Amino acid sequence: MIKLLFVEAIFAISTNKSRTLLTLLGIVIGIASVITVLAAGEGGKSIILKEFEGLSPTTLIIMPNWQDRSLNSSFRIESMNERDLKDLEKFGTHIISIAPITSMSAIIRVGDMEKQITVAGTNSNYIDFVEYELESGRILTDEEITYQEKAAVVGYTIKEEFFPDTKATGKYITVFGVPIKIIGVLKRKEKTDTISISNPDDEYNNVIVVPISLFQRLFGQDGKFREILCRAITISDIPEAKQEILKILNRNHGKWDDRVSKFMVIGMKEQIDMINKVVGTVTIGVAVLAGIALLVAAIGIMNIMLVSVKERTKEIGIRKAIGAKVWQIRTQFLIETLLLCGGGGLMGLGIAFTASKLIAHFAKWPVIINPGTAVFAVMLSLVTGLLSGYYPAVRASRLIPHEALRYE
């Protein structure tokens, strides 16, 4: 019997092709809009999160308090120093793997070639905070950091430009007249997406990493640095670690106006949580707007099904007169709306997939359609059909046969 009702429903839908097409159009646009917006939101989130994927949730970044400095220009920015580093290592009971970072642009020379390159100084703990792969050679050792060894790890671009036809490891580059031996070359790092917050060609492939002790001697930094990376022992230690860090730095440097800390601690977990919350909120907000199109489509389907019931009043009367039961009439009309909305949902899914590919290609924005989103979209279209078709189906099933037969 159900099979026969399906056949009847398909025949009724195909009878009026123009009406069916217009009904489908509303569902298709609504579903395609919702899926595309959600997929674009997931893509945007992936772009941002990839920028932090090398940093664990327990990573903390210590830097000057630029936020409060922007509110009061009289506050003078201070750098951290060796004393701060030693105190953090000694008194920081909630933190591990402390890595100071400082960098400066400098002209490097190899033979007659020269180029302006970013030189970064750090210690061996820095490796704990970055995702890296070596093309050749090795990384800096603790001994090289301690004894200011003239050693460097260079990005792939530097190797390609200065040593295109030979191995770079074992060769020398000159910084401020000081020859520095290349002990390692990093593999080329490509952008994970066509849109990226960072630029690996500037920040990874085109950098020279040297012992921070050597960096300070070359650039006359005198033990000062603007940024320190460290890790809380566990995620639950993050609040205590932040308080501990600021307490140490406030003791060493004092506060602005005796009330505002000169430094701030940024936690990766909070940053990632905030990004997820902001992107999620924006995505849901836009998806709700797109869902309005689906609501309009549902109202349109209900209206069209009511018109269909009115047009087929005589047919319904004949069917009930020859023995059709109430549930059979109701089921047929529900099947019609479910077929319309289910078909529209699948078509909308196909259009969303195509739109996603076009957006990714032309707008250079990754669009990610999760399987769960696709299932949700089809289920949403079926629920829309069920809700919008129920009242017309019930109304059709309750028609009195002799009154329906007299209807013109």
Residues 247-285: pLDDT tens digits? 999 999 999 888 889 999 988 777 777 777 777 777 677
Give the angle subtended at the CA of 34 by the CAs of 33 and 37, to the nearest 5°: 80
Q: What is the CA radius of gyration of the chain?
A: 33
Per-residue model confidence (pLDDT) at position 40: 79
Domain range annotation of the chain: 2-51+273-406, 59-267
Q: How far apart are CA 173 and CA 207, in angstroms?
A: 13
Per-residue model confidence (pLDDT) at position 388: 74
- Indicate yes or no: pTM above 0.85: no
Residues 10-52: pLDDT tens digits? 666 667 777 777 777 777 887 888 788 778 777 777 776 666 6
Per-residue model confidence (pLDDT) at position 93: 92
Residues 6+ apart with CB under 8 A from 284: none
Per-residue model confidence (pLDDT) at position 228: 92
- Torsions phi, psi for 61 (to 5 deg): -115, 120
Q: Splitting the chain (408 residues) into consecutive groups of 10 residues, what average pLDDT does each group show?
A: 63 70 77 80 71 70 83 80 91 90 88 88 81 84 87 90 90 91 87 46 76 85 82 88 94 89 85 73 72 72 72 70 74 78 83 84 75 76 75 70 56
Count of CA atoms in the C-beta half-sphere (13 A) of 233 = 8
